[in-house]
Amino acid sequence: MVNDENAGARTVRGERDWPLAARRLLSRREVSADGRAVYGTGDEKWEGFYRDRWSHDKVVRSTHGVNCTGSCSWMVYVKDGIITWEHQATDYPSIGSDCPEYEPRGCPRGASFSWYTYSPSRVRHSYVRGTLLRMWREARGRLGDPVTAWAEITGDPERARAYKRARGKGGFVRAGWDEVAELVAAAQVHTVKEYGPDRVAGFSPIPAMSMASFAAGARYHSLIGGTLLSFYDWYADLPVASPQVFGDQTDVPEAADWWNAGYLIMWGSNIPVTRTPDAHFLTETRYNGTKVVAVSPDYADNVKHAGEWLSPHPGTDGALAMAMGHVILREFLVDREVPYFRDYLRAFTGAPFLVTLRERADGLVPDGFLTAADLGGAEAGAENAGSKTVLLDSRTGEPVVPNGSLGFRWAGTGEGRWNLDLGDVVPELSLLEPTGETAAVALPRFDGGATEGGGSMVRGVPVRRVGGKLVTTVFDLMLAQYGVERPGLPGDWPTGYEDAERPYTPAWQETITSVPAVQAARIAREFARNAERTGGRSMIIMGAGTNHWFHSDTIYRAFLALTTMTGCQGVNGGGWAHYVGQEKVRPVTGLQHLAFAFDWQRPTRHMAGTSYWYLNSDQWRYEAFGPGELASPLGEGLFKGKAFADCPAQAVRLGWTPGHPAFNRNPLDLADEAKAAGRPVPEHIVDELRSGRLRFAAEDPDDPANFPRVLTV
């Protein structure tokens, strides 16, 4: 029955069944300036407005590539050339009946993007600081040549100081695209001519955001010989441990693989927020009986999806992971050896490889890998023998040089040699024998505590002499580092899980993280037990919460050790999944050739943005301590008297990392000098460096001849 207030209103479909508040709202009516009803009682004006709001001329396919790698497919509804609204696409191909489908894919941020497109705050025109634009127009008009005009402005200290000081203070004025394009081009031409093309730098967000946009700028800078700054490390998104451990960027599974996990830990990864389109796989995997654990200092959005919550202090996750590794090694590889874990370590990890022990005044310390070059005979004379690691065959006890090490990657031995096929070799994980030889080894300690030896721990490992050198295995050293004692080995060992004085016990981590020791041990036990039962389907989804730390590589490596010692890496439903998700560019080979102009020249001037800015923006001047404070206690003073800036400078000098700008002279001038002398360019540069006439720019980044001049973001 219609309320008295609505007695004069027309009844719309179903209105009699609506709540009183809704009927009162509909009874009111507001009319816009053009006579259309904004809302009302269902009359023609209101109905027309509603239909106009959702009408459209066409539907186009798009995605929201704004630094998001979700690549969700959206249907965009357009009227009169204007985006009116969007809807998630529902035509994703099926990935099989044994897994939830990918759709729905999208998030509220994407759904609102059509409004952002027409936001008043969006920049639609080119702008220049007024101070610079006035100088430019005056010099350009007076001199006639744009390059000469830019040279005069930047060559005058007063004028250069004036336009640079205007930065950060507003003062932008609109300028035409042609005028701005000429100004930018003049700056780059002058820089290339006067200082060198490597003084022109470009930075772009991820190519997975927009392959075309990325390739346009990257190709331009590659063609002029400019410096390309890596997009992934500057804002700390690169999980450095991945290339350190696996040699690749972030080779992680698709989000659908979360569904296959039998045990899932979200470690610093806020899935509903950072991977919104994929979050449903996380919630759905619980239908499989999967236990979901959240590790997060705060009660973040993802915690509500977990069955258990561990809350370590921020930045202490590495201690928790090390304690979990202590439990897994103790209970699954020493007290009870799980065959699956043992065989996985033998076949797919460096655990069986032999490490040499070096004698110091205060005892033995781990040194480098034993290589084929140390064995003598035919093996020592083989190609790249110094880069071919050695292990013991448990069947014969003899040293073997297996396939798969770095020395085989570049060896001219034909295709198929660089693989993990061990043939009939059964690698020996440990050298421990009841009557075998042992030795006490000093191992570094980084937790601020110390036992005998000053910043180190002295623990025993089984040893053997191979190739005239004292060696042990990586696995034996790992057990010693984690503090897992075995009978007959000397040293200072934890008395049990309750020992809080010696790393890396559950009780020790509790003093650092606040996570209860019992809980840390139980989660580790569950993680490993599930991996044993499922063949490696235990997974850790790692995230920015644990990656955006100065020491994130060591935190991550502690995580990766857990997935490796339990045989999870490379298994569907197991291993690590980084928060960036499926950040892959499908036509990567073609994209690389296009973006880096490999059809024109190679290699491109490509380098890490972190070290580039550390040197070229004088960040190194503000350090409060030196690299010696971060060095291993066993480092023998290698960083004594050095500043942090000395480290990247040395790395550039020795060719360990690219460094741009490269030298304190224009590289074009160096090439011209070599040509005039009738010598190859590399030979000329080496001679100039040896004579001291040429220096690396990284050695004096504040020299005006060395620092970059133009940056395009």
Residue 60 reports pLDDT greater than 80: yes
Residue 250 reports pLDDT greater than 90: no
Looking at every residue in the chain, the average pLDDT score rounds to: 88
pLDDT tens, residue by residue, 91-105: 999 988 889 998 888
pLDDT at 33: 61
Residue 38 reports pLDDT greater than 70: no
Mean pLDDT of 628-650: 87
Residue 398's CB: how many other CB atoms inside 10 A?
Answer: 9
Residue 683's CB: how many other CB atoms inside 10 A?
Answer: 11
pLDDT tens, residue by residue, 501-553: 999 999 999 999 999 999 999 999 999 999 999 999 999 999 889 988 988 99
- In this structure, is residue 456 part of a structural domain? no
Residue 589 reports pLDDT greater than 90: no
What's the CA gap between 144 and 123, in Å, rounded?
30
| Residue 694 and residue 673 in one domain | yes
Q: Residue 563 is part of which domain span?
A: 258-329+503-578
Question: Residue 583's pLDDT band (boundaries 50, 70, 90)?
Answer: low
- In this structure, is residue 468 part of a structural domain? no
Question: Residue 581's pLDDT band (boundaries 50, 70, 90)?
Answer: low
Residue 40 reports pLDDT greater than 80: no
Q: What is the CATH number of the domain that holds 268?
A: 3.40.228.10
| Residue 25 and residue 69 in one domain | no
| Residue 707 and residue 623 in one domain | yes
Question: Residue 324's pLDDT band (boundaries 50, 70, 90)?
Answer: very high
pLDDT at 580: 63
Instruction: Decide which of 655 and 414 is more confident.
Output: 655
| Residue 644 and residue 707 in one domain | yes
pLDDT at 6: 40
At residue 57, φ and ψ (nearest 5 deg) are -90, -35
Q: What is the CATH number of the domain that holds 105?
A: 2.20.25.90
Task: Find out whether the peptide bond into 205 is cis, omega within 30 degrees of 0.
Answer: no
What's the CA gap between 587 and 570, in Å, rounded?
23
| Residue 317 and residue 380 in one domain | no
The model carries a pTM of 0.87
Q: Of 372, 407, 428, which residue sits at a domain end?
A: 428
Question: Residue 247's pLDDT band (boundaries 50, 70, 90)?
Answer: confident
| Residue 686 and residue 628 in one domain | yes
pLDDT at 25: 46
Q: Which of 135, 194, 126 lies closest to 162 in space, CA to CA?
A: 135
| Residue 44 and residue 66 in one domain | no
Question: Residue 52's pLDDT band (boundaries 50, 70, 90)?
Answer: confident
pLDDT at 352: 97
Lowest-confidence region among 142-151, 376-385, 437-446, 698-707: 376-385
Question: Residue 416's pLDDT band (boundaries 50, 70, 90)?
Answer: low
Contact (CB, 8 A) for 453 and 435: no
Question: Residue 411's pLDDT band (boundaries 50, 70, 90)?
Answer: low
- In this structure, is residue 19 part of a structural domain? yes
Instruction: Decide which of 210 and 245 is more confident.
Output: 245
pLDDT at 617: 93
pLDDT at 521: 98
| Residue 629 and residue 679 in one domain | yes
Tell me the H-state helices in 95-195: 108-111, 113-117, 130-143, 146-155, 157-165, 177-194
Q: Could you tell me what percent of the chain has a pLDDT over 70? A: 90
Instruction: Decide which of 50 and 368 is more confident.
Output: 368
pLDDT at 106: 87
pLDDT tens, residue by residue, 188-212: 999 999 999 999 999 887 776 778 8
| Residue 632 and residue 695 in one domain | yes
Give the chain's domain count.
Answer: 6
- In this structure, is residue 224 part of a structural domain? no
Question: Residue 223's pLDDT band (boundaries 50, 70, 90)?
Answer: very high
Residue 14 reports pLDDT greater than 70: no
Question: Residue 67's pLDDT band (boundaries 50, 70, 90)?
Answer: low
| Residue 33 and residue 46 in one domain | yes
Lowest-confidence region among 65-79, 355-369, 421-435: 65-79
Lowest-confidence region among 159-168, 526-535, 585-594: 585-594
Residue 65 reports pLDDT greater than 80: no
Q: Which of 329, 327, 319, 339 lies closest to 476 in space, CA to CA?
A: 329
- In this structure, is residue 314 part of a structural domain? yes
pLDDT at 414: 57
pLDDT tens, residue by residue, 150-163: 999 999 999 999 99
Q: Of 401, 428, 455, which residue sits at a domain end?
A: 428
Mean pLDDT of 299-310: 95
Instruction: Decide which of 296 and 244 is more confident.
Output: 296
Question: Residue 449's pLDDT band (boundaries 50, 70, 90)?
Answer: low
For 448, residues 6+ apart whose C-beta sits below 8 A from its C-beta are none
- In this structure, is residue 439 part of a structural domain? no
At 470, which helix (H) or strand (E)? strand 469-473
| Residue 557 and residue 510 in one domain | yes
Q: Could you tell me what percent of the chain has a pLDDT over 90? A: 65
Q: Record the tokens describing residue 171, joined without a space.
A: 């003062």
Instruction: Decide which of 165 and 30 is more confident.
Output: 165
SS (H, E, C) 486-527: CCCCCECCCCCCCCCCCCCCHHHHHHHHCCCHHHHHHHHHHH
Instruction: Decide which of 415 and 291 is more confident.
Output: 291
At residue 50, φ and ψ (nearest 5 deg) are -65, -45
| Residue 573 and residue 646 in one domain | no
- DSSP secondary structure code for residue 231 in this structure: S
Instruction: Decide which of 451 and 432 is more confident.
Output: 432
What's the CA gap between 236 and 268, in Å, rounded?
14
Q: Of 428, 463, 481, which residue sits at a domain end?
A: 428
Instruction: Decide which of 710 and 404 is more confident.
Output: 710
- In this structure, is residue 235 part of a structural domain? no
Question: Residue 41's pLDDT band (boundaries 50, 70, 90)?
Answer: low
- In this structure, is residue 630 part of a structural domain? yes
pLDDT at 50: 77
